[in-house]
Amino acid sequence: MAICRLRSLLSLSKCSLPLQFSSLGRSSTEVPSQFETIGFIGLGNMGSRMVNNLIKAGYKVAVNDKNSNVLKKFSDMGVETKETPFEVAEASDVVITMLPSSPHVNDVYTGPNGLLHGGNVLRPWLLIDSSTIDPQTSRKLSLTISDCMLKENKDHWQNPVMLDAPVSGGVLAAESGTLTFMVGGSEEAYLAAKPLFLAMGKNTVYCGGAGNGSAAKICNNLTMAISMLGVSEALALGQSLGIAASTLTKVFNSSSARCWSSDSYNPVPGVMEGVPSSRNYDGGFASKLMAKDLNLAATSASDVGVKYPLTSQAQEIYTELCQNGHETEDFSSVFRHFYTGKDEI
């Protein structure tokens, strides 16, 4: 019944939103009170762009980051800034975090002046973590949040809830508001939060219980890494056998080898425009982030007793790539630096 009611509310909210907003925040009459102020912690390449899209959608936002220069930038835009995560929590109905790793997330939630600094009584009824972290950490934090109480009830919510909602699409999708959110946790909370996700992205996928969003993200990036390695290895082999990478790419993309790494994110410089390989592997998804995600996948596989030979091999290759000084280059640079592939002239 509750889920059906939320679906109806969601449908009504979509119809009632105005197409344009003339200020940084909506008035309290334009949004439900449960979304009156959105807190956002983590203003890096992804988080800063996600915040910009929330502002464009008309939400009132309060932000925090360790980088004072970034905070000043948002303050100059008229966005409310806070010195600590706890101050964000005290000022927000919903808090979203976008952080580099599990230790960072734990620190923001449970560290000094963290979101839980005030004990087990919280103001925000919903906490959304969009960081890419291990499912175990997501599940532990979700359990911790579920044991807390709200300072005051929001709608029918009597206890705070947490969603793990990592994203796919990278910086370009964060900029354009076309991210995909993979969401784990309460389905009722997911449906309630959907307007927020759609202010920052174009797709949302409900993945099941707590930690399943994080699990989906790890599996997605594992597949992406192995796919990129396979395409890079095949293209480098083709070059050595006398086939131009552009020709072999045409073969792949019109046959059974077609995949995202061949038709949308080709790793060979000169074959495709608008991708990192076309600009000396600048931008995109850094190799050090891929190595981190593969470490998460390997640890998770080991924890549950699943064989992971391809994960291990990919983990070794990307670790080596980073150790050789290419950690900030896009992960497709494995074609050049590991397989010694050649540019298409």
Which amino acids are annotated catalytic? 217
The partner residues of 299 in beta bridges, in order of sequence, read none
* Strand residue runs (E) in the chain: 37-41, 60-64, 80-81, 94-97, 121-122, 126-129, 149-150, 161-164, 167-168, 179-184, 201-208
Pairing outcome for strands 167-168 and 179-184: antiparallel
Instruction: Specify the long-range contacts of residues 106-110, CB closer than 8 Å, at least 24 apart.
Output: 106/137, 106/141, 108/41, 108/42, 109/85, 109/141, 109/144, 110/144
Q: How far apart are CA 54 and CA 38, in angstroms?
A: 9
Position of tokens 């790494």? 261
Residue type, 255: S
Name the residue among 147, 132, 128 with its Cα closest to residue 185: 128
Alpha carbon of residue 78 to chain centroid: 25
Angle at 241 between CA 235 and CA 246, to 5 degrees: 40
